[in-house]
Amino acid sequence: MTHDPDQHSSLKGMYSDYFLDYASYVILERAVPHLNDGLKPVQRRILHSMDELDDGRYNKVANVVGNTMKYHPHGDQSIGDAMVGLGQKELLIDTQGNWGNTLTGDGAAAPRYIEARLTKFALDVVFNPKTTEWLPSYDGRNKEPVTLPIKFPLLLAQGVEGIAVGLACKVLPHNFNELIEASIAVLREQPFTLVPDFPTGGIMDASQYNDGLRGGKVRVRARIATDKKGLLRITEIPFGTTTGNLMDSVVAAADKGKIKIAKIEDNTAAHADILVHLPAGADAENTRDALYAFTDCELSISPNACVIADGKPVFMPVSEILRRVTLQTKDLLRQELEIKLGELADKWHFSSLEKIFIENRIYRDIEEEETWEGVITAIDKGLTPFKPLLKREVTQDDIVRLTEIRIKRISKFDSFKADEEIKALEKSIEETEKNLRNLTRYTIRWYEELMRKYGKDRERRTEISSFDRVDRTQVVAATETLYLDAKNGFAGYGLKKDGEPLEKCSTLDDLITFTGDGKMRVLKVAEKVFVGQKPLRVAILRKDEDLVYSMIYRDGRDGPILAKRFRMGGITRDKEYDLTKGTPGTRILYFAVHKTEEESAQQMLLVHLKPVLRMRNLIRPLPFFEFGIKSRSSAGNLVTKHAIEKIVRAPKDYDPTLGA
């Protein structure tokens, strides 16, 4: 390609134009399907080539690839890969040989070993040269279709994925019969809803599908059953993964301590069959939830419906794609009926001419003619009395066709049989005209017949459901132990040598720490994390626990003594919270944790004051039920302004009315 050097005012402008040319080419010619037929150019050329070679028998894929290269100038590898992708969808191509396995991810055999032919469905709905718009191939030697006249929402049935320059396309596959039912609903002007249906089955939550547009998502889960005690069986996997990848994700989660399994094995052949063996004592229900939380047993898929329409990429909802394709199908059927009507009319016209020509022995009028012009004139003159019986004018081409009738046909002409043929043509013409007048009804019947012929064994494979995302912190296996090295102020599951064991934990847990100066923090559990010198409490934060905390503290170095009960409330990880007024020198004198409000209210403490001149009562009872439960940021209630020597728990038989 040559470029005019004066065309661009700058180098930046030149590269900008080149980039836009390339981006447009990739979008229009390689990555994004066309709205009319739902095909990328390479797919369209493969199908056109297969139709060109079709004789009802299987063809070697290598032969189809070679023939397709007349139309697709991008190499045999891209054609072969695209053809295998079409064949694995089991809709347009009837395959023979090893075409790979979409469940396991195994590839197909080499093109010279596998064979293919068009399915009956493809021959019925994809091709019609009479309604196809053609353009020259890249080298001008052949012609190829602009788009194929497909009378079915193929794009939504097969799904498609493509990445262009600055643009991506992802249309998810839908159920064959549901698409036909939705098309009929469009024609009847009734509401309809479309959600994906995946060939791999599984369980789907499509509540946020967003009609296939950007921003939507579909969550898909594997189907996992408890086969027997200690054994989980995965029989369907999420769309977009393979059994190999799924097993790798399970093993990785087990290695990280997120789930506990004894072993995993894959028996997948025609259907997915993965066995997950559990160790002794493992809970099957909890392990199944953990598989959804930490492995590819649950995936989130983001659709992005984009098509080429009117020569440019358009982001279009799935419902609108179906509506446009349905109306296009109706228009294609109209064109086919009009073509058929014209062909029937031509056939009726010539059959009537032939009958008139033979029955009235007009062929004898040309016996004495010596010139071709004389023959034509003689026949035309002989037909003149009968022209009012015809539905259109008699042309010279019609007369030429009459001269080509053989003597054998004239001698064996059966007038009764000719009348029957003309009546049959008239009946067909009448029926075709009726279908054209009632085109919507005819299109609905066409769709219904399509479902009857090809909808068997195409039931929905993916179960539509609604499910919440599994809380990973609730199902992760507690395979670690939390240790505390109080002397040095560290905690973590990697301190087995220097620390004191506190409780079992997982690598996803958070821990909560309280220090003697009234500070509180929530940290991510790690092998080793600093929690402060001699912490008051270090524990795993359980979000389902509603603990009540009790605390007595001295405000500053010489300030009053305050007490409070509080609940934790909302917290942010790694943020330090002050549970006191924050005065320098503040010290926690008493700290306790209780599971219930009643338990915390039953606390009875004895506060021992430091001796002071003229102070007689140095021991004072402190019943915590007097303090209401407040927020963690509250300052608390005044206990005393005097210095405290110690705080102890009151004996169980302590009676505050009798004093200490």
Q: What is the DSSP string of 578-589?
A: ESS---TT-EEE
Taking alpha carbons only, the member of 598, 595, 602, 486 closest to residue 542 is 595
Q: What does the pLDDT read at residue 249? A: 94
Q: What does the pLDDT read at residue 117? A: 97
- The angle formed by the CA atoms of residues 190, 194 and 199, to the nearest 5 degrees, is 145
pLDDT of 656 over the 70 cut: no
Q: Which CATH architecture has domain 11-189+306-315?
A: Alpha-Beta Complex (3.90)
Q: What does the pLDDT read at residue 1? A: 43
- CA atoms of 95 and 59, how far apart (whole Å): 10
Q: What is the DSSP string of 121-136?
A: HHHHHT--GGG--EEE
Residue type, 659: G
* pLDDT grade for 245, boundaries at 50, 70 and 90: very high
Q: What is the DSSP string of 571-633?
A: --TT--EESS---TT-EEEEEEEESSHHHHHT-EEEEEEPP-TT----EEEEEGGGSPEE-TT
Are the C-beta atoms of 66 and 52 separated by less than 8 Å?
A: no
Q: pLDDT above 90 covers what percent of the chain?
A: 62
Q: Read off the pLDDT of residues 375-424 as tens digits, 9 standing for 90 and up.
A: 999 999 999 999 999 988 999 999 999 998 888 888 888 889 999 999 99
Q: What does the pLDDT read at residue 227? A: 82
Q: What does the pLDDT read at residue 21? A: 55
- Report the DSSP pairing between strands 500-505 and 480-485: antiparallel
Name beta bridge partners: 315.
306
Q: What does the pLDDT read at residue 533? A: 79
Classify 146 in phi/psi space as left (phi over 0), alpha (psi -120 to 50) or beta.
Answer: alpha
Q: What does the pLDDT read at residue 17? A: 59
Q: Read off the pLDDT of residues 95-120 as tens digits, 9 standing for 90 and up.
A: 999 999 999 989 999 999 999 999 99
Q: Read off the pLDDT of residues 301-319 as tens digits, 9 standing for 90 and up.
A: 999 999 988 888 889 999 9
Q: What does the pLDDT read at residue 165? A: 66
Q: How many CB atoms lie within 10 A of CB 389?
A: 10
* 113 is an active site residue: yes
Q: In 455-554, which ranges are continuous DSSP H helix?
A: 472-475
Question: Cα Rg for the chain, rounded, in angstroms?
Answer: 41
Backbone angles phi, psi at 223, to 5 degrees: -90, 115
CATH 3.90.199.10 boundaries in the chain: 11-189+306-315
Taking alpha carbons only, the member of 122, 170, 169 closest to residue 150 is 122
Classify 329 in phi/psi space as left (phi over 0), alpha (psi -120 to 50) or beta.
Answer: alpha
Give me the catalytic one of 113, 442, 454, 493.
Answer: 113
Chain center to CA of 353:
61
Are the C-beta atoms of 571 and 543 separated by less than 8 Å?
A: no
CATH 3.30.1360.40 boundaries in the chain: 218-301
User: Within 13 Å, how many C-alpha atoms sit on residue 555's CB side?
Assistant: 18
Please compute the mean of the pLDDT values over residues 70-90 and round it to a whole number.
92
Look at domain 218-301 and name its CATH class. alpha beta
Q: What does the pLDDT read at residue 89? A: 93
Highest mean pLDDT among 131-135, 285-289, 570-574: 131-135
Could you tell me the pTM of the whole model? 0.77
CATH 1.10.268.10 boundaries in the chain: 333-454
**Which residues touch 542 (CB under 8 Å, ≥6 apart)?**
none
pLDDT of 164 over the 80 cut: no
Q: What does the pLDDT read at residue 570? A: 86
Positive or negative torsion for Cα 121, 127, 130, 133: positive
Q: Which CATH architecture has domain 333-454?
A: Orthogonal Bundle (1.10)
Q: What does the pLDDT read at residue 2? A: 46
- CA atoms of 194 and 460, how far apart (whole Å): 12
User: Helix-strand-coil percent breakdown of the chain, rounded to 5?
Assistant: 35, 25, 40
Q: What does the pLDDT read at residue 151? A: 96
- CA atoms of 621 and 648, how far apart (whole Å): 10
The string over 326-349, giving b where at least 16 C-beta atoms fall within 10 Å of a residue's C-beta and e elsewhere, is bebbbebbbebbeebbeebeeebb
Q: pLDDT above 70 covers what percent of the chain?
A: 93
Which residue did the predictor score with more confidence, 239 or 477? 239
Q: Specify burial of residue 217 (Cβ count, 10 A radius: 0-12, 13-18, 19+).
A: middle
Q: What does the pLDDT read at residue 638? A: 92
Taking alpha carbons only, the member of 402, 303, 413 closest to residue 349 is 402
Q: Read off the pLDDT of residues 445-482 as tens digits, 9 standing for 90 and up.
A: 999 999 999 999 899 999 999 887 776 766 777 778 89
- Quote the crossing angle between the two packed helices 76-88 and 61-68, to the nearest 10°: 120
The average confidence (pLDDT) of the chain is: 89
- CA atoms of 479 and 504, how far apart (whole Å): 7
594-602 long-range contacts, CB within 8 A, separation 24+:
594/547, 594/548, 594/549, 594/550, 595/545, 595/547, 595/548, 596/548, 597/548, 597/629, 599/548, 600/548, 600/550, 600/565, 600/624, 600/629, 601/625
Place of tokens 């403490």: 605
Structure letter (DSSP) for residue 174: B
